[in-house]
Amino acid sequence: MPTPEQMEAAVHTYVAAFAKGDPAMAAAIFAEDAVVEDPIGAAPRIGHAAILEFYTQSMATGATLHLQGPVRLAAAHAAFAMQVHLHWDGKDMVIDVIDTFAFDEAGKVKLMQAYFGPGNMHG
């Protein structure tokens, strides 16, 4: 079972990776066979190569993550509210998002899901 410190550190590493524009840093928190569903309902990105490609594309928008409140931890899961600031479709946007991470025994993220929809996007 991952420790609370490992899970909290993974979230902060994820946020820091976006601040640095470092997709490899973001991908490093994930297990080799992890799944990213961002947003919920989108085609899942499965495995390290697909996840790295996804974060490379995401960071190309200039996206930065801004935590909104504490990270919530329960069992081997973390949930966190944040705002994503990015440049999309020719304009600056803010998206209100809740992300969840499910962790494996080694403390790597095995499943990431992002919860947001059109009503959470602000121009």
Q: Which amino acid is at 23?
A: P
Please tell me which residue in 33, 38, 99, 115 is annotated as part of the active site. 38
Q: Could you tell me if residue 123 is inside a domain?
A: no
Ramachandran region of residue 7, left (φ > 0), alpha (ψ -120 to 50) or beta?
Answer: alpha
| Reported confidence tier of residue 88, pLDDT bands at 50, 70, 90 | confident
Active site (annotated) includes residue 115: no
The pLDDT assigned to 82 comes to 98
User: What percent of the chain has pLDDT above 90?
Assistant: 96
Task: Tell me the residue range of the domain where 28 lies.
Answer: 4-118
Active site (annotated) includes residue 38: yes
Q: Residue 85 sits in a domain of what CATH number?
A: 3.10.450.50
Count of all residues that appear for the chain in the document = 123
Our count of domains for the chain comes to 1
Q: Which amino acid is at 36?
A: V
| Reported confidence tier of residue 121, pLDDT bands at 50, 70, 90 | very high
